Chains A and B, each alone.
Chain A
Amino acid sequence: DQQVKQNSPSLSVQEGRISILNCDYTNSMFDYFLWYKKYPAEGPTFLISISSIKDKNEDGRFTVFLNKSAKHLSLHIVPSQPGDSAVYFCAASVLVRDDKIIFGKGTRLHILP
């Protein structure tokens, strides 16, 4: 059973516009969420995270929003740049239980010129 779901395998966005990547989760115990970015043939790199005590966290062009009641989080990238073209993984874990991190299947973002 998939606990972290990224239902869009791919997304295309015009350069300069906003990219919105979505993630849903089923485990209500999750209290820490992360986004990773991955280029082909490289390891993922950490992008941004959010604790369940917050509903928004911002870092430069990247903002993550958390809606606990809907068990949904989203990553906003604005403005989108060509270097943002990559696969984005959503991940979640239960902080208080020191559990391992569960990853979604990823969304491939294409930034169009």
Chain B
Amino acid sequence: DGGITQSPKYLFRKEGQNVTLSCEQNLNHDAMYWYRQDPGQGLRLIYYSQIVNDFQKGDIAEGYSVSREKKESFPLTVTSAQKNPTAFYLCASSWNSGANVLTFGAGSRLTVL
């Protein structure tokens, strides 16, 4: 079955540590996205990538980094510079950027202790 796999589902991190969230898709989609969900805040775009080896900052990119070395993979690193990293992180993909239906992964919940 085609879809998006995010791992780990739950992750705990100590303050000052970087952590990388994995996102893999086998849908052959060109575009991939990272969103963050906080209570009452909806979905806020962190980074997105329209093609391999290219990515753009979203609305809340500070303290995060990404790479897109392969079409299938779009890992997100939450760095120690992110002031409030505890959140639910969602990866998504679509055929191309813009007005296309996004397919989301199941999410990763990061808790900073």
Binding site for B on A (CB under 8 A): 6, 9, 31-32, 34, 36, 41-46, 49, 89, 93-95, 97-101, 103-106
Contact = CB atoms under 8 A, between A and B. Distances in A.
Given A98-B97, A100-B98, A44 B43 contact: yes
Given A43-B92, A44-B102, 16 more contacts: A36-B104, A41-B106, A42-B106, A43-B4, A44-B43, A46-B102, A46-B103, A93-B99, A94-B99, A97-B98, A98-B98, A100-B98, A101-B98, A101-B99, A103-B35, A103-B43
A25 B41 CA distance: 16
Interface in B32-70: 33, 35, 40-45, 48, 58
Q: Which label, helix, strand, loop or mixed, suits the secondary structure of the B interface?
A: strand
Nearest to B103: A46
Contacts of A9: 40
Contact of B98 (A43, A46, A95): A95
11 contacts: A41-B107, A44-B90, A44-B104, A45-B104, A98-B96, A99-B97, A100-B97, A100-B98, A101-B98, A105-B40, A105-B41
Contact of A31 (B41, B97, B99, B101): B99
Given A42-B106, A43-B107, A100-B48, A93 B42 contact: no
A19 to B, nearest CB: 19
Best-buried of B42, B96, B99, B103 by chain A (most CB within 10 Å): B99
B85 interface: no
A36 B40 CA distance: 16
Interface residues of B, number: 27
Interface of B: 4, 6, 33, 35, 40-45, 48, 58, 88, 90, 92, 96-99, 101-107, 109
Contacts of A98: 96-99
